[in-house]
Every structure is written in structure tokens, then in C-alpha cells.
Amino acid sequence: MARFLIVEARFYDHLNDMLIAGARAALKAAGHKADVITVPGALEIPGALALADESEQYDGYVAIGAVIRGETYHFEIVAGESARGIMALTMDGLAIGNGVLTVENEAQAIVRADPNQKDKGGEAAKAAMALLELRERFGG
């Protein structure tokens, strides 16, 4: 049994609730434990992941949130920098599943977040578990 931390950018409550439900269900089905922490937005996710990893309490991580395109360039910065930070930590050896949705509108987000539809929270948890297995296989 591994211990995972779900780091959620709590901006869209209803979307996050679905993403977390999917992630928790996938982790539980595999026999793992999960805690959840909340950060203000997607840009804070990589920092929280790095801080949590320093604690050595967790084996893997699931990043959860939603970035919905608006009228300004802010969408590109938040989506790109959040993904870049998560990827940099993954390249450093952390087992992270990226479940941060980057979508055009709320309707797209709902379809992707809903565990009964695309279940991107569950997929992110499965990705984190797969990376953890690979890290263990390669002696990391």
C-alpha cells in the first residue's frame, strides 16, 4: 500500500469535487491511501508538491484543478506554467499524475471531471500509480 497526496487548486468547487472523487476511487481500488490538501490556484500546485515531497510522507501525487479559458492571456500563463512546474518535478523523479484540466469552457470541464464520463481525476491517479511502479522498478 502506498500513500498518495492529492493537491487540489480549489477554484471551481463542483469540478474539483468530481476530480477528487475519481482520483480517490482509483487509488482506493488499487489499495492505496490518499490525503488531500488545497492550494489557492493551479500556479501553487508545483510548489505544494515540492514542499510535500520534502516531508517524505508520500509515495506519489495527484494534481487536481481546472483552468478555463477567459478573455485574457492569463489562461495561457496559468495553464502553461502549472504544467511546466509539474513536469519539472516529474522529471526529477516524483510520481505525479496531472489532473489539471485546461479547457475552453465549463461544459468541457464537466465532461472531463465527471467520474461517470471522462474521469480525468481517476486517470491522473492511475498515471501517478504507473509512475510510482516505474520508479520502483528502476530503483528510484
> Binding site for (2S)-2-hydroxy-3-oxobutyl phosphate: which residues?
71-72, 112
Catalytic residue among 74, 76, 84, 140: 74
Binding residues for 5-amino-6-(D-ribitylamino)uracil, as ranges, are 11, 42-44, 66-68, 98
Distances in Å between the Cα of 46 and the Cα atoms of 1, 53, 90, 114, 138 are 24, 11, 10, 24, 24
**Grid cell digits, residue 63:** 494534481
CB atoms within 10 A of CB 1: 8
Write down the residue that cell numbers 501553487 correspond to.
Answer: 44
Distance CA 88, CA 111 (A): 28
3-state secondary structure of 13: helix
* Pick from 137, 140, 79, 130: nearest CA to 109: 79
Active site residue 74: yes
Binding residues, as ranges, are 11, 42-44, 66-68, 71-72, 98, 112
The residues annotated as belonging to the active site are: 74
